[in-house]
Amino acid sequence: MQFTPQSITEISIQAARGRQEHTPPALTDSTSRTMEREDWNQRYSAEALIWTAKANRFLMEEIANLAPGSALDLATGEGRNAVWLAEQGWIVRAVDFSDVAIGKARNLARVRNVHEAIDFREADLRNYELEFQRFDLVALIYLQIPQAELFPILLQAARAVAPGGTFLLVGHDSENLLHGYGGPQRADMLYTAEQVVAALGNELVIEKAGRVERPVETPDGIRVALDCLVRCKRL
Ligand SMILES: C[S@@+](CC[C@H](N)C(=O)[O-])C[C@H]1O[C@@H](n2cnc3c(N)ncnc32)[C@H](O)[C@@H]1O
C-alpha cells in the first residue's frame, strides 16, 4: 500500500440536512461483551428491519462512478447494501454469520427483484477463507468487532480486491465514543481510518482515508455520528 501520513485526506464534511440515516443501535449488549452470532440472531429476530432498507450513503457516493462488476459485501446484515449494489448491476456475494440476518437479506433481495444477482453466504469472517477469489469491489460497512479480530479480516479483504478493483470501508470512528452519536460504546470496537490503513498492509493504493460526519435523525432532532471511511484501489 502506498501510504504516508500525508496521504490521508480528511474527507469533506457531509452534513447537509435531508441526507440523514437512522442510527444503528449500540453493538454491545448490556454487559458490554462482544456480540456473537446468537446475540445478532436475537437482535435480528424482530420481523421488521432493524436497520434501514436504504443503502449506506457513503457506499452510494463512493462507488457511484464505478462500472459494475463483482462485489463482496462483508457483514451484509439485512442486505441493504448488497441489494442496492445488485440494483446498480453488480453481481454480489454477501456474507454474514447471522442466519437470521441472511434470511431477511434474502427476503429484501426477492422483494426488490435482485435475488438472482446475490450469492448469500453464512460464515464467520474470523475464519472465512477467500483463497484465490478476487472481486471488483470489496465493501465492509460497520463491521464493529474487537480490533484484534478485525485487522486480520481487513488484510484478507484487501487481498480479495481484483486488479483495478476498489476496497471500501465505513465504520464507527473512535472519536464517536466521546464526540459522536450512537454506535458501539466500547473503544476497542471502534477504529480510525489510520488504523484501518495500517491493517490493510501494502496491497492497495489509498484514495481516501479520514473521518466523516453522518447526520442522524433522532427523537431529539438531528445528531451527528462520526464514521471513518477508507477507499483504496488495486492498480
Ligand atoms: C452493524 S451490522 C452492519 C450490517 C450492514 N453492513 C449494514 O451496513 O447494514 C454488523 C453486522 O456484522 C455481522 N457480524 C459481526 N461479527 C461477524 C463475524 N465475525 N462474521 C460475520 N459477520 C459478523 C453481524 O451479524 C451484523 O449483521
**Which residues form the domain of 80?**
13-233
Looking from the CA of residue 37, the nearest atom of ligand 1 is 25
6 alpha carbon to ligand 1 midpoint, in Å? Answer: 31
List, for residues 16-42, the tens digit of each pLDDT value.
333 345 444 444 444 467 889 999 999
Residues in the ligand 1 pocket, defined by CB under 6 Å: 24, 27, 40, 51, 56, 75-77, 80-81, 96-98, 101, 124-126, 141-143, 145
**Rounded distance, CA 141 to CA 171, Å?**
6
Q: Is residue 5 part of a domain?
A: no
Domain assignment present for 56: yes
Distance 220 CA to ligand 1 centre (A): 27
**What are the C-alpha distances in Å from 52 to residues 48, 55, 79, 136, 176?**
10, 8, 10, 25, 20
Q: State the distance from the centre of ligand 1 to the C-alpha of 142, rounded, in angstroms.
A: 7
Q: Are 71 and 136 in contact (CB under 8 A)?
A: yes
pLDDT in tens, 42-87: 999 987 888 889 999 999 999 999 999 999 999 999 999 999 999 9
Quote the crossing angle between the two packed helices 80-87 and 99-111, to the nearest 10°. Answer: 30
Q: Which helix (H) or strand (E) holds 26?
A: none
Query: Which of 39, 56, 96 for a ligand 1 pocket mutation test, highest count of atoms within 8 Å of Cβ?
Result: 96
Q: What is the pLDDT of residues 120-130, one digit of tens each?
A: 999 999 999 88
pLDDT value at position 3?
A: 38
Residues 6+ apart with CB under 8 A from 197: 1, 3, 8, 206, 209, 230
Return the pLDDT at 30.
45
pLDDT in tens, 156-203: 999 999 999 999 999 999 999 999 999 999 999 999 999 999 999 898
CA of 77 to the centre of ligand 1 (A): 5
Spatial separation of the C-alpha atoms in residues 221 and 125, rounded to whole Å? 36
Say which CATH number the domain at 178 has. 3.40.50.150
Residue 75 placed within a domain: yes
Give the distance (Å) from ligand 1 centre to CA of residue 166. 20
**2 lies in some domain:** no
Is 151 inside a domain boundary?
yes
In a domain, 64, yes or no: yes
Average pLDDT of span 216-234: 96
Q: Has residue 71 been placed in a domain?
A: yes
Determine the average pLDDT of the residues in 217-232.
96
Query: Per the domain annotation, does 4 fall within a domain?
Result: no
φ/ψ of residue 127, rounded to 5? -140, 40
The minimum-distance atom of ligand 1 relative to the CA of 128 is 20
Quote the number of domains for the chain: 1
- Rounded mean pLDDT of the chain? 88
Residue 12 has pLDDT above 90, yes or no: no
